Amino acid sequence: MEAGDGGSVGDLGAEARQAPVAPRVSEKLALLPDRPGCYIYRDAGGTILYVGKARALRHRVRSYFQESRALDAKTAVLVSLVDDLEWIVTDSEVEALLLENNLIKQHQPRYNIRLRDDKQYPYLRLQVRDPWPRLEVVRRPRQDGARYFGPYPHASAVWETMHTLRRVFPYRSCSDRRLALPHPCLFHHIHRCMAPCIAACTPEAYRQMGAEMVQFLEGKGDGVLARLQARMAEAAEDLRFEEAAELRDRLRALRAVLEKQKVQVAAGSDRDALAVARAPGVPEAAVEVFFVRDGKVAGREGFIMAGAEGRADGEVLQAFIEQFYGGGAAVPPEILLGDALPDEAEVVSMLRARRGGAVRLAIPRRGAKRELVELVGQNAGEHLSAERWRREKSREAIDAALTELQVALGLPAPPLRIECYDNSNIQGSHPVSAMVVFEDGAPRKSDYRKFRVKTVVGADDFATMQEILGRRFARARRERADLAAGSPDGEVPAEAAGFARLPDLVIIDGGRGQLSHALAAMHEMGVGDIPTFGLAKEHEWLFREGSAAPIVLPEASPALRLLQRIRDEAHRFGLDYHRQLRGRASVASLLEEAPGIGPHRRKALLRAFGSLQALRAAGVDAVAAVPGMTRPAAEELLGFLRGNEPTVGGDIQKPIG
């Protein structure tokens, strides 16, 4: 691949000749436009293998499939797997780069360098356009005019930041609906909120506090410190002692935080410094970022990049920059790097567009800046070492838990694939069941399944378990028969996926009753030989078929902790689905009574808002924008809903996902 591709597969040194081009790919190569955009490679199963960008799609994509071109080993494997391609045209190279970043985050293609588990990184969001801005934690930044800070590598990091901010800046964190209530919340009573809900502060004072909080999050705490000091002195001089004492407490909290930011770099400078660390035999790379504001290190974060094996450090850095800053992180005027990027011009254009001003990339060769980059590199190495240690300890713990399960349950081998089932209903309403899968001790969320109960009436947990297990293994029998029919030797392939993949161990959430009904269904489907146990929550005992005595694992047992984790995950997954159905039903029920709302409008409103709380809180413009709605209909609907708010309890608040 060309060096200009920020997500390129890379050069492993070995070269390989082209595999035959798939028919669908060959047909589409002639249709490629000579314009900038993104291209997407898929395998025979439709899975996205790779996302790339190009100045000219026609030239870039066709270059992969030229018979005369020798490819490095990894690219040759990629090309041999490509069964189909598609592309998206953009107006510029910068737009193509941003689109590539979004597609990589969404699909996590195997052959792209990517931030590991990027979708989980939290941000802090401050909607500065609101009259009373509030700070909240979000997972996906949007182009909505708000200020975003992050991403933070762990949820604990962002909540620690929130806790620190609340001690220094008494911002509101409640919903907009809470502002309409006539009494303040607990945070105001403990001096952690300025309580705009009861007009305990002026809009000007709240905006000033918000501006200071933004400065602090940008790493410019010294200026905030000076202003708070001046305001405290002024309040004391005017004999406003209560206000002066409050400012004094905020100053102490702020100084405690700023004491941790003592590494001086260069006076009056704002920049980020990035470096990569690698380790032999480790497929991932670590990237460390130091945030320098007003000449001192105001913070640091470390990230792990997956898919970095065989890639140059510059490629890893470029992929990180595109995903980190393209995802919403604040862009400083200067970024110091430990290695050159393969396509610096495109990256600079993207950063300028994100910042709305000039951005400089530099590789310092000497002096304080070089020392800073070297320090960042050392911290990246420490981060990678800590990650490897954590993974090794986790691997040891998982192996110990699986081995203990094998011995305690009398299994022929450690159970590498465990399935767990749990039912969820409230007095028989909206009964559902959940299936979660753990492979090698870790959740395999792509294999999770949720079921609506079809044949059971009322809250019959035993019959529900029998129905769900029967449906699950009936589906397995059909899929395995299809796979065997298509196999040359008439056998089911070992790599069977989905329902066709049988578990090594089945856990039923419940005692002997649930277990016996589940086993009845499994015997009927011909899979009664799969080890199956009930896990009763009251004593955390395990029950097996044909034995009156339970299996009691020690409370500190790694095996028991693993089973509890799997059972709790099944409970969470099933409960989330049950809440979705209840929420949808509650919205639909009230909408059926709303004037002027027929089936088509009801369906569109359900899709757009998902919960009564979200619909009631929406503005007239948002409701009128729903397909099929008009402004008069939206006004009438909101008046009806707000006139029928519950006086006790509340609506389901979780939106339909």
pLDDT digits (tens, 9 = 90+) for 416-426: 999 999 988 66
d(CA 293, CA 218): 7
- Higher-pLDDT residue of 612 and 503 is 503
pLDDT on residue 12: 33
E strand or H helix that includes residue 582: helix 558-593
Tens-digit pLDDT profile for residues 544-580: 998 889 999 998 889 999 999 999 999 988 888 767 7
User: With a threshold of 0.85, does the pTM exceed it?
Assistant: no
Domain 271-386 falls in which CATH fold? Nucleotidyltransferase; domain 5 (3.30.420)
Q: What is 143-177 written as a DSSP string? A: SSS-EEE---SSHHHHHHHHHHHHHHS--B-S-GG
Q: Which pLDDT belongs to residue 142? A: 72
Q: Are 515 and 508 in contact (CB under 8 A)?
A: yes
pLDDT for 619 equals: 75
Q: pLDDT tens digit string along 59-113?
A: 889 888 876 566 667 778 888 889 888 898 888 887 788 788 778 877 888 888 8
> Residue 117's pLDDT is what?
54
What average pLDDT does this structure show over 268-289? Answer: 85
Q: What is the pLDDT of residue 133?
A: 82
What would you report as the CA-atom Rg of the chain, rounded to the nearest whole angstrom?
29
Stretch 14-32: mean pLDDT: 72
Greater confidence (8 vs 511) lies with 511
> Which ranges in the chain are annotated with CATH 3.40.1440.10?
15-112
d(CA 50, CA 602) in angstroms, rounded, equals 39
Highest mean pLDDT pick, 97-101, 197-201, 471-475, 652-656: 471-475
Q: What is the pLDDT of residue 4?
A: 33
- Specify which of 148-152, 175-179, 551-555, 592-596 reaches the highest per-range mean pLDDT: 551-555
Please give the helix or strand (H or E) that residue 86 lies within, else none: strand 84-89
* Average pLDDT of the residues in 21-32: 86
Find the mean pLDDT for residues 590-606: 79
How confident is the model over 251-260, as pLDDT tens digits? 776 665 554 4
The predicted model gives 311-331 an average pLDDT of 86
Cβ atoms within 10 Å, residue 140: 13
* High-pLDDT (> 90) share of the chain, %: 22
The yes-or-no verdict on residue 593 having pLDDT over 50 is yes
pLDDT band for position 537 (cuts 50, 70, 90): confident
How high is the pLDDT of residue 652? 30
Report domain 417-567's class: alpha beta
User: What is the per-residue pLDDT for 1?
Assistant: 29
DSSP element (H, E) containing 136: strand 135-138
Higher pLDDT, 591 or 558: 558
Compute the distance between CA of residue 18 and CA of residue 71 in angstroms, rounded to an integer: 7
pLDDT of 427 reads: 56
Residue with tokens 């689905």: 577
539 pLDDT tier (thresholds 50, 70, 90): confident
Beta strands in 285-388 (DSSP E): 285-293, 296-306, 334-337, 360-362
pLDDT of residue 643: 65
Measured CA angle at 188 (ends 183, 194), to 5 deg: 100
pLDDT at 20 over 80: no
pLDDT 10s digits, 603-628: 888 777 766 667 777 778 888 888 88
**pLDDT tens per residue across span 455-488:** 887 778 899 999 999 999 999 999 999 888 887 8
Cite the DSSP H helix spans in 261-343. 313-326
The pLDDT mean for the chain works out to 80
| Alpha-carbon span 46 to 84, nearest angstrom | 8
326-352 confidence digits (pLDDT tens): 877 788 899 999 999 998 988 998 899
Q: Which residue has the higher pLDDT, 332 or 538?
A: 332
Percent of the chain with pLDDT over 70: 82
Residues 396-411 have pLDDT tens digits of 889 999 999 999 999 9
Higher pLDDT, residue 266 or 431: 431
Task: Assign 194 a pLDDT band (cuts: 50, 70, 90).
Answer: confident
Please state, in angstroms and as integers, the Cα–Cα distance from residue 429 to each residue in 113, 349, 423, 454, following that order. 46, 55, 12, 12
Cα Dmax for the chain: 92
433-442 average pLDDT score: 91
Q: What is the mean pLDDT of residues 213-220?
A: 74
CA pair distance 245, 236, nearest whole angstrom? 9
What is the per-residue pLDDT for 265? 47
Q: Residue 13: pLDDT band by 50, 70, 90 thresholds?
A: very low
More confident call, 165 vs 406: 406
Burial of 53 (0-12, 13-18, 19+ CB in 10 A): buried
Report the pLDDT value the prediction gives residue 119, as an integer from 0 to 100: 47
The three-class DSSP label of residue 475 is helix
Peptide bond into 122 cis (omega under 30): no
Report whether pLDDT(17) > 50: no
- The answer to whether residues 335 and 376 touch, using CB atoms and an 8 Å cutoff, is no
**CATH superfamily assigned to domain 15-112:** GIY-YIG endonuclease (3.40.1440.10)
CATH architecture of the domain with residue range 594-642: Orthogonal Bundle (1.10)
> Which run of H or of E encompasses 574?
helix 558-593
Helix (H, G, I), strand (E, B) or coil at 32: coil
pLDDT at 436: 94
For CATH 1.10.150, list the domain ranges present in the chain: 594-642
The torsion angle over the Cα atoms of residues 551, 552, 558 and 563, rounded to 10 degrees, is 60
